[in-house]
Structure 1
């Protein structure tokens, strides 16, 4: 009894045994080329890391020299890390009946509607 040819992954072969050998050899060459390329990639990644390290060291040296030359502070270089908060605007108008105030910014309050604003202006 003759067995049907089977491929390396267990499927039935649809080609002649001689063709299968040739095909297997091609697959091996492809895998071999793939492995070579992976090895080259690894070498290139090492070279890239070395070059980056050298460039970074050189750049850092220049930055440090410039910072020292001009006596920059961290705030000069990086800015203030805290967000600057706005101070509330000073009150310009006062409702003498309730003590409510308005800065003059934004929509006018109801107590100032249809009124002469100068009557309510804070003069201090």
Structure 2
């Protein structure tokens, strides 16, 4: 048997194995889903119970406003793009005084 023939035979075997693996995976997946649903029902599990450890990082807290437009009452934290009502103005005039 030549190297080319051996390669073609191995590729065909791989194709058949890949198909068999996919078939077994699909059968096992169905059983796994049934088992998971049974456990969820039995223990009354919520999405938070199941996926809370998957959250990435901490929730960001919103920064308190630092500036206020006296005309409209709109505020700005001082982070991000400067709002149009504060552009080209002295920011000190719009600072929210700490109480």
Aligned residue in 2 for 1:32 = 5
Residue 42 of structure 1 deviates from its aligned partner by 0.1
Tell me whether 1:76 sits opposite 2:60 in the alignment. Answer: no
Greater RCO (Cα-Cα under 8 Å, separation 6 or more): 2
Tell me the secondary structure at the aligned position of residue 47 of structure 1: helix
Q: Which has the larger radius of gyration?
A: 1
Tell me whether 1:61 sits opposite 2:62 in the alignment. Answer: no
Structure 1 runs (4+) deviating above 2 angstroms are 80-88
Counterpart CA distance in 2 for 1:57 and 1:33 is 36
Count of aligned pairs: 66
Residue 87 of structure 1 deviates from its aligned partner by 8.3
Q: Which of the numbers 52, 60, 64 marks the counterpart of 2:25?
A: 52
Tell me the secondary structure at the aligned position of residue 39 of structure 2: helix
Counterpart CA distance in 1 for 2:3 and 2:50 is 53
Counterpart CA distance in 2 for 1:68 and 1:44 is 36
Pairwise CA RMSD: 3.1
Counterpart CA distance in 2 for 1:66 and 1:34 is 47
